[in-house]
Amino acid sequence: MSGADRIPDEIAFKAIDPKAYADDSVHDAFRWLRANNPLGRAELEGVAPFRIVTRHADILEISRQNDLFHSGDLASTFTTLEGDRLVREMTGGSPHLVRTLVQMDAPDHPKYRIMTQSWFLPQNIRKLEDRIRQIAREHVDRMAALGGECDFVGEIALYYPLRVIMEILGVPPEDEPRMLKLTQELFGAQDPELSRSGGKENLQGPEAMAALQGVIADFFMYFKAITDDRKANPRGDLASVIANGKLDGEPINDFEAMSYYVIVATAGHDTTSSSTAGAIWGLCANSGEFAKVKADPSLIGGLVDESIRWITPVKHFMRSATADAEVGGHRIEKGEWLWLAYPSGNRDEAVFEDPDAFRVDRSPNKHLAFGYGAHLCLGQHLAKMEMRILFEELLPRLKSLEFAGEPKLSAGSFVSGPKHLPIRYSLT
């Protein structure tokens, strides 16, 4: 292994440090890596060596070769050596606490994906448009009722996509706060304000793993009751599809059914919440872009894509090489672990002009926020539709928009985004 490949420790640590995502300084590390060592090897204490893939083209190349770069052989999200050991002890050898589409490779991945895929096809989600528009109007009316000032994350962005995906899944409205709290504890595990740590900083080792396992156990307990009900009384909801799902003619097991619920229930709203808040953040910070999209509603689609690129809620997934390979002129050895740095790919100067700028009319906008290849996000069309409809309802009524305090991002190197977004506005 060439020593020239090694990333300086301070750069490697910055790229994976949850706090660097909270203060946005992670982009300094990614900028340096793209320019100097775009597929470099990190060798940090307490962590298995791994490569950080920072260029758009390299992330695409790895993502499209699903047989060569697996998701499920090693941990699919970053962990320490101790974290990996603890998970394997809990699971009897598996590196995964859950087994969702994210942790699967062929032949299982396509078989599990097809169970719910039709629900998220554009022609099918279009049938939901009227109901989603009704939910969007309710949230715009809520903004109006708040009197011209609110924390857009805590009072609007968290709840709008939550209501949509929970209706699709079949979770009753009274259980939505529970789903929201569990999602925040799962994805916000690295943020003391959001995690189950009780506000403790740097919860690590067995204590952190116990907290995470507790969150997953609570999810499983909740969805076990849903599964039992939908097996006995199927309805026209997605929970019924999962509860009665079959693989090769046999019912899927409870563990994989529970895992399926968790990924739909969490990823189905948290990332959309972050991108929706990111749009408002971008418009507050760039009054010229707000004026542009106000004057030309045809730019709403551009606003949606730019917000998703600019925030990139999913920060990374891991892959491992099943054979020796070459990517972007770099040799990768069989068994190597790769960190796909989506925020870096989405600010690659080779693909995006002035990549740090927020531009509602950016075109083309070939961002990687939904992934690529076989693992392309199942819910991407639904997420973009939800955002489009909300801004179609909100922007015609929104006369002014500005920050009313300091916005804050959550700490998290896996999934993170706006945590607080105090805004002042006037609505017709």
pLDDT classification of 44: cutoffs 50, 70, 90: very high
Cα–Cα distance, 224 to 218 (Å, whole number)? 10
3-state secondary structure of 277: helix
- Note the pLDDT of residue 209: 80
pTM: 0.95
What's the token pair of residue 419? Answer: 């945590």
Structural domains in the chain plus CATH codes: 3-427 (1.10.630.10)
pLDDT value, residue 406: 98
H or E stretch including 344? helix 342-345
Distance CA(29)–CA(55), nearest Å, equals: 13
Angle at CA of residue 273, ends 268 and 279, nearest 5°: 135
pLDDT digits (tens, 9 = 90+) for 266-304: 888 899 999 999 999 999 999 999 999 999 999 999 999
pLDDT in tens, 186-217: 887 788 888 776 555 554 567 878 888 898 99
At a CB cut-off of 8 Å and minimum separation 6, what does 152 contact?
277, 280, 418, 421, 422, 423
Q: How do beta strands 316-321 and 250-251 pair?
A: unpaired
Give CA–CA dist 238/345, Å, rounded. Answer: 33
Report the pLDDT value the prediction gives residue 192, as an integer from 0 to 100: 83
Q: How confident is the model at residue 140 (pLDDT cuts 50, 70, 90)?
A: very high
Nearest in space to 282 (alpha carbons), one of 312, 253, 260: 312
Distances (CA, A) of 249 to 111, 188, 245, 280, 359: 11, 37, 9, 47, 49
- By the 10 Å C-beta count (0-12 exposed, 13-18 middle, 19+ buried), 211 is classed as middle
d(CA 194, CA 186): 9
pLDDT bin (cut points 50, 70, 90) of residue 334 is very high
Prior bond of 177 cis (ω within 30°): no
pLDDT tier at 320 (50, 70, 90 boundaries)?
very high
Name the percent of the chain lying above pLDDT 70: 97
Q: What is the pLDDT of residue 1?
A: 47
